[in-house]
Structure 1
Amino acid sequence: MNSLLNAISQMRLPTDAQRVFHGRGGLYPGCEHWTLDAFPPVFVLTSFLPATDDELATLGAALAQRWQVLAPDQPLNWVFQCRAQGHVETRLMAGSEPEPHSVTEDGARFRVQLLKGQNHGLFLDMAEGRRWVRTHVAAGVAAGGPSFRVLNLFAYTCAFSVVALQAGAKLVVNVDMSHGAITVGQQNHQLNGITTGASFLAHDIFSTWGKINRSGPYDLVIVDPPSYQKGSFVATKDYARLMRRLPDLLMPGAHALLCLNAPELGMAFLQDQMQELAPNLRFVERVANPAVFADVSPDRSLKVLVYQAPD
Structure 2
Amino acid sequence: MHKNTAPTPRIDGFAYHRIDVAEGVALNAAVGGTGTPVVLLHGFPQTHLMWRHVAAELALDHTVICPDLRGYGASDKPAADTEATYAKRTMAADVVALARALGHDRFALAGHDRGALVAIRAGLDHPDAVTHLASMDVMPTPDMWEVMRGTTAAVGFHLYLMAQPPGLPERMIEASADAFFGHFLDIWTRDPAAIPDDVRAAYLKASREAVPSIVADCRASATIDLEHDTADRLAGRTLGMPVTVLQQDWGAALGFDAAARWRTWAPRLEHLTVSCGHFMAEEAPAETTKALRDLLAR
Normalising by structure 2, report the TM-score.
0.32
* Larger RCO (CA within 8 A; separation ≥ 6): 2
More helix by share: 2
More strand by share: 1
Normalising by structure 1, report the TM-score.
0.31
